[in-house]
Amino acid sequence: MISKNDFDLMYEGNKNLFNIYDFSESSLKPYLADEESINYFKVLVKTYSSEKTLPFGKLILKELDNVLVSKMEDYPLPGFMTSKKIGVVNLAPIDAKLLSDYSAPDVYACFAYTIILSKLMSRSGFTDRLEDQVSLFLDSAFMGMFGKKSGMIGSYRHLIPKLKFIIAMYTHEGMFGNKPNDIYRNKVASKYFLDYKEMKLDYDFKSITDTIKCINDNNIISLSENVFSTSVINYGGIISLPMFEDLSRMFATLLMVFVKGNHLFSTYWYKKSKSVYEKLIKFGLTYI
């Protein structure tokens, strides 16, 4: 597993949006909430849930004082981690001007997401045995967003093995951080009864944008970086975009299905592939 410093699909101006805040922590001070506000937010977290009502409830209450709390308006995600592995809650995605405008489920979701994210990103890695489940989830997401439009549910079903193969390569290299490996390629190709040597595969599968280009150039789905990003945002909100680039972000996002009543995290991915989703969140819970 690799934790990427920034994202390919998200930008702030002309600069890639950071995943890990790789600047001095003193530069965060203008964005940090005051002590009175922080205490109020923590009360909302404690009000929303006790450790008995959520599978990670005990962890959130235990780590509540170990994260920084900010409102970084130009950062659209509810949390990130510093290079020193300190979680930073970002409440900017919540549409609230006054303290009384913040809802307990939304605040809890921001804290839970950040705490879980920092735990996952502090790990040395995930077992490669998870690769098949992650690939299945990504397959389902791609098919849900583009399968019908591209005819893969009908006349062009023969393209599905090629899509699955490319997604498997991206999962292996881009999400789990493994090196290109012909043995692995042969194994996946055999699984899908595919001769991958007939495909255009001179791409960097550590990159989601290069992977999208590979899918497009092999005439599987007419796809661009912008079309992909727009589709993800339309279905799951901008918070969903990072889970297609970083494994820790994926698990932190998927686990928010437990935070009922929040307005930040979409249930679209859960509804589209419940069986795969549920297996992944069970794995995610074992890693925090």
Question: What is the value of pTM for the model shown?
Answer: 0.94
Q: Using CA atoms, how far apart are residues 284 and 258, in angstroms rounded to an integer?
A: 12
CA distances from 142 to 58, 101, 137, 145 (A): 34, 36, 9, 5
Phi, psi of 95 (to 5 degrees): -80, 85
pLDDT class of 12 with cuts at 50, 70, 90: confident
Q: Which of 133-142, 146-155, 271-280 has the lowest mean pLDDT?
A: 146-155
Q: With contact defined as beta carbons under 8 Å apart, do 209 and 202 qualify? A: no
Compute how many other C-beta atoms are within 10 angstroms of the C-beta atom of residue 11: 12
Q: Measuring CA to CA, which residue among 86, 45, 68 is closest to residue 259? A: 45
pLDDT (tens digit, 9 = 90+) per residue, 166-200? 999 999 999 999 999 999 999 999 999 999 999 99
The pLDDT, as a whole number, for residue 131 is: 94
The pLDDT, as a whole number, for residue 242 is: 97
For 199, residues 6+ apart whose C-beta sits below 8 A from its C-beta are 162, 165, 218
Q: In three state form, how does the secondary structure of 39-65 look?
A: HHHHHHHHHHCCCCCCCCHHHHHHHHH
The pLDDT, as a whole number, for residue 137 is: 96
Q: Measuring CA to CA, which residue among 270, 142, 277, 131 is closest to residue 208? A: 142
In this predicted structure, the answer to whether residue 52 has a pLDDT above a threshold of 90 is no
Q: What is the mean pLDDT of the chain?
A: 93
In this predicted structure, the answer to whether residue 155 has a pLDDT above a threshold of 60 is no
Instruction: State the burial class of residue 222 (Cβ atoms within 10 Å of its Cβ: 0-12, 13-18, 19+).
Output: exposed
In this predicted structure, the answer to whether residue 1 has a pLDDT above a threshold of 70 is no
pLDDT class of 124 with cuts at 50, 70, 90: confident
The pLDDT, as a whole number, for residue 17 is: 94
pLDDT (tens digit, 9 = 90+) per residue, 79-112? 999 999 999 999 999 999 999 999 999 999 999 9
